[in-house]
Amino acid sequence: MNPVTLLAAALACLNLATYVTYARDKSAVRLGRRRTPENTLLLLGLLGGWPAALLAQQRLRHKTAKTSFQVKFWLTVVANVTPAILYLQA
């Protein structure tokens, strides 16, 4: 398998896992169960799962009103996008 295909597959799996994690956390909120730590959600975004995290936040209406989380989340997006932009400009 070529490296680009492997990377794309890994990112697809990571994004699926990120969406599922957000959905499980939202369900835990509704059911009064143990929550997923915010640092886990942020780490998934930082590792490359931020597109699914953004989708989950919008579709599930989860973590959208908590300003401190949103600031940290958008910093993970910037941390992911900036190197790609710099690479493309080189």
Q: How do residues 32-87 score in pLDDT, each as one tens digit?
A: 999 999 999 999 999 999 999 999 999 999 999 999 999 999 999 999 999 989 99
Sign of the C-alpha dihedral computed for residues 52, 80, 64 and 25 taken in this order: positive
Range of the domain at 72: 3-89
Q: What is the pLDDT of residues 20-45, one digit of tens each?
A: 999 999 999 999 999 999 999 999 99
Please count the structural domains in the chain.
1
Q: How far is C-alpha 25 from the geometric centre of its chain's CA atoms?
A: 13
Q: What is the pLDDT of residue 1?
A: 82
pLDDT at 90 > cutoff 90 = no
Say if residues 79 and 73 touch (Cβ distance below 8 Å). Answer: no
Q: What is the pLDDT of residue 4?
A: 92
